[in-house]
Amino acid sequence: MGHPRKSRKKYNTPPHPWNAERIKDENKLMVKYGLKNKKEIWKADTLVRRYSREARYLLGFSSDQVEVEKLELLGHLARTGVLAESAALEDILNLTVEDILRRRLQTVVYKKGLARTPKEARMFVVHGHIALNGKKIDSPSYVVLRGQEDQIGFYGSSPVAKQIQEHNNADKAEIVEENNE
């Protein structure tokens, strides 16, 4: 047991700290997804390893309880959007770190077009400009479930939302003027 306020770390560090190929891959992922540090990549990697370990364990047995656990694991991954609804247990073994990183709130905000860059998406989330179904979320690592993607938008009283709305209205007015001429 440990102290309740001192939770364990949720990631495993790489086995060898100075592997040039791994460092290059991690740097590419950090730029692509606008991550703060490599710890976020290691957290996603640990999740992938945990899912793969669980899938290998479940593939080795065939009982009623194992069938229930298979359905729970596949249902969890389907709800989070990491796997398709019709995925099999073997598909879990093919998961990558990018599959996990794609489901982060920061990445979904960027892909949805609410921010110009992944870093800007992170800043919007951390500063409280992004809401999910009207509720402010300030954690860029929040895992967006499959049905929640279209509920993401700017927080109602966010000054960024007002500024972007004014900018869009000005653009629409320019288009209308050009069409009238």
Q: How far apart are CA 129 and CA 154, in angstroms?
A: 6
Q: 136: helix, coil or strand? A: strand
- This prediction has a pTM of 0.87
Interval 147-171: pLDDT, tens:
999 999 999 888 988 888 787 778 7
Per-residue pLDDT of the chain (181 residues; tens, 9 = 90+): 578 888 888 999 999 999 999 999 999 999 999 999 999 999 999 999 999 999 999 998 878 888 999 999 999 999 999 999 999 999 999 999 999 999 999 999 999 999 999 999 999 999 999 999 999 999 999 999 999 999 999 998 889 888 887 877 787 777 777 777 6
Residue 58 φ then ψ, to 5°: -70, -30
Domains of the chain, first to last: 9-101 (no CATH), 104-181 (3.10.290.10)
Could you tell me the two tokens for 136?
A: 């402010």
Closest CA to 92 of 42, 53, 61: 53
Q: Measured between alpha carbons, how far is 64 from 46 in angstroms, rounded to an integer? A: 28
Tokens standing for 8? 């364990």
Token pair in block for residue 9: 């770390």
* Nearest partner of 127 among 169, 157, 151, judged by Cα: 157
153 in helix, strand or coil? strand
